[in-house]
Chain A
Amino acid sequence: MTMVAAQPRVAPVRRLWAAPLILGLTILAGTAIGETWLPFATVLQTLANHLWGASYPVDGIEAGIIWSYRLPRAIVAACCGAGLALTGVVLQALLRNPLADPYLMGLSAGASTGAVLVTVAGVGGGVISMSFGALTGALLAFGCVVVLARAVSGGAGGGRATQAAAAIILAGIAGSQMFNALTAFTIARSANAEQARGIMFWLMGNLSGIRWEDVMACTLVSLAGVGLCLWHRRGLDAFTFGADGAASLGINVPALRGSLITATAIMVGVLVSKVGAIGFVGLVVPHAMRFLVGTRHDRLVPASALAGAVFLVAADVISRVIVPGQVLPIGVVTALVGAPAFALILVRGARR
């Protein structure tokens, strides 16, 4: 028997000022570090030149790397990290399942299938964008998983919470396998070897193609996600003792579940269409943050968004520098950190 100390009651507001600072420093670091290390001063000078029309003398190639490649890439990594971490927070709270995660529940697999169908198989005849394909795929996969889970447990919102939780994970496995198979089938049928290799890289998460055009969508989606989660923070808290508990606390459970889970699917769809399916962010980050700031969503939501952003920018930097001359898919890095953490959560859950 070990003694467990009480949760420190941290005033959320007092530490909130640090969040933009940490985020800014992370993005700066993500911009400075790479195959060629650029001094912070150069990064700041380039930013000043572009944002405030300053005229510091900066090397043209370095300025190009910073402004056109690394900065949008770092911003998109931060947005994706924040967004994916939040989808984990939402799914874990609403489904009362510590293992709920968009990657494990087939959302990412569905998004990949949608994206591949549009880009490789040419579904939609060029009218439909890859984002729309990924979005449709994510929603479809999620719909399948939820319907399957309901069929298995007799209602995911029913009283038998543990059974429903197990059902949704098992349904997620079935859904992921199905959609991954569809993706592989599409690639094998339609893509040539070169294309296939590119897609496999993209499926494991790839930030190489990120430009300024992608920044807007990702920023919007992740900021909207933070806002929506904070707006519903008490509703998310109310699920602590299950869906019936939330309903008896005055939460309109079907409406809240429906809107937040749809928002989650949209977020995953948009983010996957930009950077590919990056796993384990939604699983690892919320758990780590619950350990640090507790389970209340007024603290957990901003903390997870920030930590997710930092985690993914760091993972991106590691993926760029760990093998000289080569960029690893970022999903490989997150999985190498995430899979052991996933195992740890399983073991801790079993001990409880």
Chain B
Amino acid sequence: MRIEVEALSARVHRTPLLQDITLRIEPGELFGLIGPNGSGKSTLMRCLAGLHRASIGRVLAEGEDLVRIPTRTRAQRIAFVEQQADTTDRLTVLEAVELGRTPYLSPLRGWRGVDDDAVSDALGAVEMTAFTDRLWHTLSGGERQRVHIARALAQTPDLLLLDEPTNHLDIRHQLSLMELVGSLPITRVVALHDLNQAMACDRIGVLSGGRLFAIGSPTEVLSEPLLAEVFGVSAMRHAAPDGSSRLHFSHAL
């Protein structure tokens, strides 16, 4: 799905959090969104998900203004995995993933075979098929994040938005989750804290103080002067044996 953000500004409780953001995300792209705490990543993700209305500017999905798309239709095309969405309900993994079919169901349109197919495909994609009957509160953080992604995939969206999906995961689960996200064949926008994870994206956008500071391929954007200016860290980039480049951070400036 092609996403165009046009001169977008957004406020939360009258505090301006995003100012004059313009960017374009191409179909099938893995787009990373990075920036320090409070730079507006989550607000921009919520605007892309249609959960927060821009005060100025707009978001276009395939050329259509997001606020004009009916809520249900939007949820059939755009899926959003929030940061740390949790529940105290005793529900199973299967029930959690089945929630992803909500935008297709109505009081008069019941559960059908295609819903079962979408749910089992989604569980398969995140390799959680063996967990269907497990209860939510018995899952680890990494497993929960996979269930969230499966729930989003069950929406069969064209655009998947993930807000800091690797937060609070151990390193193994971080890597396997990013591998999973990288392998999905749809447009993805991922807000990330770990800059080395951002190196795996097709393109990244850097937010700083609510403005889009830079946009481009990770190697173009993540230069040592930018890291010093935006994140306030001294960093060095060097080539890993596999040809990719890695960032090494030495100290805060």
Contacts and interface: CB of A to CB of B under 8 A. Distances in A.
Interface string A282-308: 000000001100111000000000000
Contact of B103 (A242, A250, A291): A250
A244 B51 contact: yes
A6 B134 contact: yes
B246 interface: no
Contacts, number: 96
A352 interface: yes
A248 B49 CA distance: 7
A326 to B, nearest CB: 41
A351 to B, nearest CB: 11
A295 B103 contact: no
30 contacts: A4-B137, A6-B133, A7-B90, A7-B95, A233-B107, A234-B102, A234-B107, A240-B89, A240-B96, A240-B99, A241-B86, A241-B148, A247-B51, A247-B71, A248-B75, A248-B80, A248-B82, A249-B102, A249-B155, A250-B74, A250-B76, A252-B71, A290-B89, A290-B90, A291-B90, A294-B91, A295-B89, A295-B90, A296-B95, A349-B88
B189 to A, nearest CB: 13
Interface in B14-68: 46, 49-51
Interface of A: 4, 6-7, 96, 98, 154-155, 159, 230-235, 237-238, 240-242, 244-245, 247-252, 290-291, 294-296, 349, 352
B47 to A, nearest CB: 13
Given A6-B133, A234-B107, 4 more contacts: A4-B138, A232-B107, A247-B51, A290-B90
Interface in B126-164: 133-135, 137-138, 148, 155
Interface string B103-138: 101110000000000000000000000000111011
B135 A6 contact: yes
Nearest to A290: B90
B54 to A, nearest CB: 16
Contacts of B73: 250
Nearest to B106: A234
B85 A245 contact: yes
Nearest to B95: A296
A154 B102 CA distance: 28
Interface of B: 13, 46, 49-51, 71-76, 78-80, 82, 85-92, 95-96, 99-100, 102-103, 105-107, 133-135, 137-138, 148, 155
Interface of B is mostly: mixed
A294 B105 CA distance: 20
Task: Please indicate which of the listed interface residues B91, B96, B106 has the most CB atoms of chain A within 10 Å of its own CB.
Answer: B91
Given A7-B90, A98-B88, A294-B90, A249 B137 contact: no
A349 B89 CA distance: 11
A157 to B, nearest CB: 11
A249 B76 CA distance: 8
A244 B96 contact: no
A22 B51 CA distance: 44
Nearest to B100: A249
Contacts of A7: 90-92, 95, 133, 135
Nearest to B105: A234
Q: What 7 A-B pairs have minimum CB-CB distances, sorted nearest first?
A: A250-B75, A250-B103, A6-B133, A250-B72, A248-B80, A241-B85, A249-B102
B52 to A, nearest CB: 10
Given A249-B75, A250-B71, A296-B95, A231 B107 contact: yes
Given A154-B13, A248-B51, A249-B75, A237 B99 contact: yes
Contacts of A294: 90-91, 95
Contacts of B82: 159, 241-242, 244-245, 248
Task: Please indicate which of the listed interface residues B74, B99, B148 has the most CB atoms of chain A within 10 Å of its own CB.
Answer: B99
Contacts of A230: 107
Given A240-B96, A250-B103, A295 B75 contact: no
A130 B36 CA distance: 58
Task: Please indicate which of the listed interface residues A6, A231, A242, A248 has the most CB atoms of chain B within 10 Å of its own CB.
Answer: A248
A197 B182 CA distance: 71
B99 A238 contact: yes
A4 B79 contact: no
A232 B102 CA distance: 11
Nearest to A241: B85
Nearest to B81: A248
B95 A295 contact: yes
A242 B85 contact: yes
A244 B52 CA distance: 10
A224 to B, nearest CB: 15
Contacts of A237: 99, 102
B102 A251 contact: yes
Given A241-B86, A247-B51, A4 B135 contact: yes
B85 to A, nearest CB: 4
Contacts of A291: 90
A344 to B, nearest CB: 14
Contact of A249 (B46, B89, B91, B103): B103
Nearest to B42: A159
A120 B42 CA distance: 54
B90 A352 contact: no
Contact of B102 (A6, A98, A238): A238
